[in-house]
């Protein structure tokens, strides 16, 4: 058996956000948000698109969105690339989902809690070894929870999960193992096959059930992600090395400590520019700006410079 990669956007939506995914999503959310308890008994999978209701407001798209039987909204996102300001985007989407519940003149009492579940294929919190982290509003000194604690951010960092098949104990372990390893498996692990919802998730992820066009499209999406990851890692490494070299050179003239600091700052900008140049042929200017932290003007200037070089080369 060959399984599609649940970390790609298409596969993630197909497994957790399709019309046949209700029981799968209930089990998945109970595992990752409620420690395997059957807290969620029912939910409705709804259109995750969040169109802007005000002119000029930034649009956003979530992988899967559901409403629980008590009205709580859950937004679920799978993120493969560690783009610039991703943490802010998670908070923005959660706050936007919370605010857009109300129509004009409706009272705040009608607001329902929002839970943002984010699964990342990279590490977000270097100061923690836990692979599941949860954030709520709390008082700084006394550590008590805000009375109307309606925003709940839950993160699952896949690289921090290192358990093997024989070490899987909890429902969360098994779902995270599925997310991280399904693509490389050739059969359903015995420890997971006894859970009906995970068995069905594997069933949906079975590549044999897809058309040739769907498989080809998935392969292209997956390769695109790998190419982006490779481009970013290569550019970051080269820029970091360049930044250190520049820091040492400036340190000779201005003092070691000051020179290294300035060189690293310059290297960070060079890193962002190097990454942006490699993404010009793949992404639009706004996405490149968000990914690298460069201004839109910087990205446009890079694109114009690239076009000018092409034209000059063509003329010659």
So what's the pLDDT on residue 295?
Answer: 86
In a domain, 83, yes or no: yes
Taking 60 as the threshold, does the pLDDT of residue 53 lie above it? no
Same domain flag for 202 and 230: no
Same domain flag for 203 and 268: no
In a domain, 104, yes or no: yes
Of 174, 209, 244, the one marking the end of a domain is 209
Same domain flag for 26 and 138: yes
Q: Considering only 21-35, 168-182, 286-300, which range has the smallest mean pLDDT?
A: 286-300
Same domain flag for 98 and 171: yes
So what's the pLDDT on residue 54?
Answer: 42
Taking 90 as the threshold, does the pLDDT of residue 36 lie above it? yes
Confidence of residue 242 (pLDDT cuts 50, 70, 90): low
Same domain flag for 143 and 223: no
SS (H, E, C) the chain: CCECCCCCHHHHHHHHCCCCCHHHHHHHHHHHHCCCCCCCCCEEEECCEECCCCCCCCCEECCEEEEECCCCEEEEEEECCCCCCHHHHHHHHHHHHHHCCCCCCCCHHHCCCEEEEEEECCCCCCCCCCCEEEECCECCCCCCECCCCCEEEEEEEHHHCCCCHHHCCCHHHHHHHHHHHHHHCCCCCHHHHCCHHHHHHHHHHEHHHCCHHHHHHHHHHHHHHHHHHHHHHHHHHHHHHHHHHHHHHHHHHHCHHHHHHHHHHHHHHHHHHHHHHHHCCCCCHHHHHHHHCCCHHHHHHHHHHHHHHHHHHHHC
Same domain flag for 310 and 167: no
So what's the pLDDT on residue 51?
Answer: 44
In a domain, 3, yes or no: no
For residue 141 the two structure tokens come to 């000194």
For residue 297 the two structure tokens come to 């003007």
Same domain flag for 39 and 172: yes
In a domain, 187, yes or no: yes
Same domain flag for 19 and 78: yes
Of 209, 237, 256, the one marking the end of a domain is 209
Of 182, 209, 236, the one marking the end of a domain is 209
Task: Provide the residue range defining the domain that includes 186.
Answer: 9-209
In a domain, 22, yes or no: yes
Same domain flag for 45 and 80: yes
User: Whole-number mean pLDDT of the chain?
Assistant: 82
- The predicted-structure confidence for 176-235, as pLDDT tens digits, reads as follows 999 999 999 999 999 899 999 999 999 999 987 777 777 777 777 677 666 666 666 666
Same domain flag for 71 and 118: yes
- The predicted-structure confidence for 55-114, as pLDDT tens digits, reads as follows 444 444 468 999 999 999 999 999 888 877 889 999 999 999 999 898 877 888 999 999
With both helix axes pointing from N to C terminus, report the angle between 196-205 and 171-181 in degrees, rounded to the nearest 10. Answer: 10
Residue 134, beta-bridge partner list:
154
Same domain flag for 149 and 231: no
Same domain flag for 192 and 63: yes
So what's the pLDDT on residue 200?
Answer: 95
Number of structural domains the chain divides into: 2
- The predicted-structure confidence for 193-202, as pLDDT tens digits, reads as follows 999 999 999 9
């Amino acid at each position: 058996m060959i399984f599609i990669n649940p970390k790609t956007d298409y596969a993630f939506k197909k497994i957790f956000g399709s019309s046949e995914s209700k029981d799968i999503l209930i089990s998945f959310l109970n595992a990752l948000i409620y420690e395997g308890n059957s807290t969620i008994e029912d939910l409705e999978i709804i259109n995750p698109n969040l169109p802007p209701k005000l002119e000029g407001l930034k649009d956003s798209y979530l992988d899967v969105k559901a409403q629980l039987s008590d009205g709580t909204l859950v937004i679920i996102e799978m993120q493969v690339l560690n783009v610039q300001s991703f943490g802010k985007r998670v908070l923005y989407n959660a706050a936007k989902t919370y605010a857009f519940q109300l129509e004009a003149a409706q009272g705040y009492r009608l607001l329902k809690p929002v839970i943002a579940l984010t699964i990342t294929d990279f590490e977000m919190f270097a100061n923690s070894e836990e692979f599941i982290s949860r954030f709520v509003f709390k008082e700084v000194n006394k550590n008590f929870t805000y009375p109307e604690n309606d925003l709940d951010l839950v993160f699952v960092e896949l690289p921090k999960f290192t358990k093997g098949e024989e070490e899987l104990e909890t429902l969360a372990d098994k779902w995270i193992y599925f997310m991280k390893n399904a693509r490389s498996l050739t059969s359903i692990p015995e420890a997971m096959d006894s859970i009906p919802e995970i068995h069905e998730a594997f069933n949906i992820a079975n590549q044999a059930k897809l058309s040739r066009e769907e498989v080809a499209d998935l392969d292209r999406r997956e390769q695109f992600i790998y190419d982006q990851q490779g481009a970013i890692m290569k550019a970051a490494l080269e820029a970091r090395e360049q930044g250190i070299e520049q820091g040492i050179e400036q340190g000779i003239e201005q003092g070691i400590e000051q020179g290294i600091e300035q060189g690293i700052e310059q290297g960070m900008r060079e890193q962002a520019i190097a990454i942006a140049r490699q993404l010009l042929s793949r992404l639009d200017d706004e996405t490149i700006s968000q990914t690298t932290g460069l201004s839109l003007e910087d990205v446009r200037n890079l694109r114009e410079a690239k076009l000018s070089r092409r034209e000059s080369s063509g003329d010659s």
